[in-house]
Amino acid sequence: MSDVSYDMPSTPVPDRAPPSSEVEQLTQRIVRAIEQARDTLLERMLHAGLSPHDGWRIKEELRHTLDGTEWILSPIHLRELPPRLEERVRIDAEGRLVSDGAA
């Protein structure tokens, strides 16, 4: 038994083109939206009495759907049930920032 892949010439991997300024701008908008959602959720958690000192943390979940991708940030605790509190950041299927905010 032989592996013919050893006999085949290797094809070099092409260099990646640097990201366009449009992609970089979109990336920065998404990063800012996620940071804003995290800050907003932390503020809402503190207002509800859910402090990091008491063991509350922010859980980040990434979901891929037919409509795009969304980050869902919500409170989590090892021993207590979390309240229905969350922030979302959505990216559509074309990669554009759709919305962010409380759900």
Query: Does pLDDT of 91 surpass 80?
Result: yes
Q: How many CB atoms lie within 10 A of CB 89?
A: 25
CA distances from 97 to 10, 19, 48, 59, 67 (A): 39, 18, 29, 21, 12
Cα of first residue to Cα of last residue in the chain, in angstroms, is: 58
Question: Is 96's pLDDT higher than 60?
Answer: yes
Checking if the pLDDT of 16 tops 80, the result is no
